[in-house]
Structure 1
Amino acid sequence: MKTSKKGLDLIKSFEGWFPKPYLDPIGIPTIGYGFTYYLPSRVKVKMTDKPITMPQGNEMLKEILTNYENDVKRLVKKPLNANQFDALVSFTYNLGATNLGKSTLLKKVNVNPNDPTIKDEFMKWDKAGGKVFSGLVRRRKAEADLYFTK
């Protein structure tokens, strides 16, 4: 399974597009659609890096998303529909596979992917650096809404 256009659009809308390096809300150098490293080298983004073009960013996003898609496929033990998959890929892209792997969200998905309390589990992940961010609240709501879209 691959992330659909709906999932890509969700990720892009929350990450935003930044051709030049910037510091994310917790001070991590970031570029493009929220990239903190480059592929295939895995070299971390530095504030002194040159800008990238949108075509480069779109290619990087496709390449990087493969890692997160594979993480979701590896961790989720139950069949998912495309919207559920896309929502979990967005979540994992933002928070990482380690956080998905240790989450109650994943535990509930692996018991019953249609459990309505899964929505509440998305909403618990609204902090960065220990602080609640309104952007993360909106993102988790959008992911949960996508997850439960038939």
Structure 2
Amino acid sequence: MGLLKKLFGGKPETKCEPAQQARIVPESPDPVKAPTKTGAAGVALIKQFEGCHKPIGQGRFQAYPDPGTGGKPWTIGWGSTTDAEGKPIVPGTVWTQAQCDAQLVRDLARFEREVAQAVAGAPTTQNQFDAMVSFHYNTGAIARSTLLRKHRAGDYAGAQAEYGRWNKAAGKVLAGLTRRRAAEAELYGR
């Protein structure tokens, strides 16, 4: 609970609404030294698009199927597809708000680490890092993306344009993914 209080301020939320405070990470003064933690803008973007779903009352949330496939991967809370032990979420899983928030912290740490490794020392601003963490949090595809290759090559406009290509799930264009990719591209370009 101490880490959650430090990161999100106060008690865990009892309603499924974005936290009022996020981790505050200053802009990297030296873009060659890439950030390693998601800033407030990145956390807010992830929470905005992931939401904390599917409330069933009394501060509890139930797993729901992937909107693109109608099944796997099953998701809970702030878009988590695995639990604290790394096991996949299954139908019928129920978590408290505190469990949802704690898993968000764990998920962010994993995706931040993977993006930092993928960027591998390429000049990266805080906003670029945040946008890539949001992208990876949702797709799991940073390492194999043309977006990353263009970013590492210094083609920032090309990398920014790549976000729009990732708006499909199970072969279908999803309006929510289109909006998310546009928001990530905008953040990346700030």
Q: Return the TM-score normalized by structure 1.
A: 0.91
Distance of 1:48 and 1:58 partners within structure 2: 19
The alpha carbon displacement at 1:126 in A equals 0.6
Moved over 6 A (4+): none
Distance of 2:142 and 2:164 partners within structure 1: 13
Once superposed, what is the RMSD of the aligned Cα atoms? 1.2
Aligned to 2:160: 119
Cα deviations by residue, 1:16-67 (Å, 9 ceiling, x for unpaired): 112211112112211101111102x111111122x22222211110111111
Which of 93, 96, 99 does residue 137 from structure 2 map onto?
Answer: 93
Gap regions ≥5 residues in structure 1: none
When the two structures are aligned, how many residues end up with a matched partner? 144
Distance of 2:186 and 2:146 partners within structure 1: 18
> More helix by proportion, 1 or 2?
1
Q: Are positions 1:52 and 2:87 aligned together?
A: no
Aligned to 2:52: 17
Which of 63, 80, 102 does residue 106 from structure 2 map onto?
Answer: 63
Rg larger for: 2
Which residues of 2 match residues 28-39 of structure 1 at below 5 A? 28=72, 29-39=74-84
Which of 38, 43, 67 does residue 8 from structure 1 map onto?
Answer: 43
Gap regions ≥5 residues in structure 2: 1-35, 54-60
SS in 2 for 1:52: strand
Distance of 1:11 and 1:107 partners within structure 2: 23
Determine what percentage of the aligned residue pairs are the same residue. Answer: 41
Q: Return the TM-score normalized by structure 2.
A: 0.72
